[in-house]
Copies of this chain bind each other. A is one copy, B any other.
Amino acid sequence: MHILITGAAGMIGRKLTARLVAEGGLAGQAITRLSLIDIVAAEKPVGFAGACESQAADLSAPGAAMAAIKARPDVIFHLAAIVSGEAEADFDKGYRVNLDGTRLLLEAVRTIGAPYRPRLVFTSSIAVFGAPFPDPIPDDFFTTPLTSYGTQKAIDELLLADYSRRGFLDGIGIRLPTICIRPGAPNKAASGFFSGILREPLAGREAILPVEDSVRHWHASPRAAVGFLLHGATIDLAPLGTRRNLTMPGLCASVGEQIAALRRVAGEAAVKLIRRSPDPAIAAIVAGWPQRFDAARAEALGFTAEKSFDEIIRVYLEDDFKS
């Protein structure tokens, strides 16, 4: 089995690559070839027995999408994207990478044509939704994004569904929750504090909390996210019918519940490292974000996420914590 990962150098891409290499197979078939693409070349995994190539490429550049799939990978994990903040700041770049790049990839698959019909697992986002929301947000709620990034992901979802319906590929769109705890250094994303208030105190460092403890959001760990992608690459998609895009399960938790979990796992000393510094700008952005979903469709298909923040913290300590 030949697997292609776009956006392979990103956080989820690296974890997905490592997991595929560790498991050595997918859906009962050995992985014989692994193709990694990103705007900067991803590190090749160590200990992989099959063929592996890693390329720096921009899928929105002429010919790049066709070059990426000319060896006809059986499974394509399409993770490559400009993140929300950058897509909002650079309108052209966001549409070029997030819309045109995805469309060109789908078009390349269609151009090769039958009998080539790969499984395509696309990472979408809960950013396809925009406030105001019902609570919980049902699976049939409309997509009225409040960012260009969310718009581009919602358009990609529509394309994925149509290309699947027409039989050009066998696609599934995975709407990821906010990923928590993100490893690595603090970043400037408005959502950064959700991870920061756990990751930094666990390492003995201070973290800023810019919102009220009552703020709720929808979370899943990086490990759960990789699990969604693998499950989406493996299951029979016929039960989805033409509705190919799924909100993933997650954990609805308040900041206060996050902190209580930190206290249970790491003690009061860790909690004392959280410094409250209200930021009305961040509070306003976060107020427009979804808080809770009823992910009944995905759950019925066997997608699973963490059930408590204690579990999310333990996953971080096992997978990413370096003491």
Stretch at the interface among A68-76, A144-152, A201-209, A258-266: A144-152
Jot down 29 A-B pairs with beta carbons below 8 A, ordered by A.
A91-B110, A91-B166, A130-B242, A130-B243, A134-B140, A140-B141, A140-B142, A141-B142, A142-B143, A143-B143, A143-B158, A144-B161, A144-B242, A144-B243, A145-B158, A145-B161, A145-B162, A146-B165, A146-B242, A148-B162, A148-B166, A151-B159, A151-B161, A151-B162, A154-B158, A155-B155, A155-B158, A155-B159, A158-B158
Q: Which residues does chain B contribute within 8 Å of A110, judged by CB atoms?
A: 91
Q: Which residues of the other chain, B, contact A134 by a CB distance below 8 angstroms?
A: 140
Closest B-chain residue to A165, C-beta based? B146
Interface 0/1 of A48-73, CB less than 8 Å to B: 00000000000000000000000000
Query: What does the 1/0 interface line of A71-110 toward B look like (CB < 8 Å)?
Result: 0000000000000000000010000000000000000001
A243 to B130, CA, bound (A): 9
* Chain B: minimal CB distance from A309 (Å): 30
Residues of chain B with a CB closer than 8 A to A143's CB: 142-143, 158
Copies in the complex: 2
Among A130, A142, A158, A166, the most chain B Cβ lie within 10 Å of the Cβ of: A158
**Complex Cα distance A143/B127, Å?**
16
Give Cα A292 to B192, complex, Å.
44
- What 19 new A-B contacts, CB under 8 Å, besides A140-B142, A142-B143, A155-B158? A91-B110, A91-B166, A130-B242, A130-B243, A141-B142, A143-B143, A143-B158, A144-B161, A144-B242, A144-B243, A145-B158, A145-B161, A146-B242, A151-B158, A151-B159, A151-B162, A154-B158, A155-B155, A155-B159
Contact with B along A104-124 (1 / 0, CB 8 A): 000000100000000000000
The smallest beta-carbon distance between A64 and chain B, in angstroms, is 20
| Contacting residues, chain B, for A242 (C-beta < 8 A) | 130, 144, 146
Task: Name the distance in Å between A314's Cβ and chain B's nearest Cβ.
Answer: 35
The residue in chain B whose Cβ has the minimal distance to the Cβ of A153 is B158
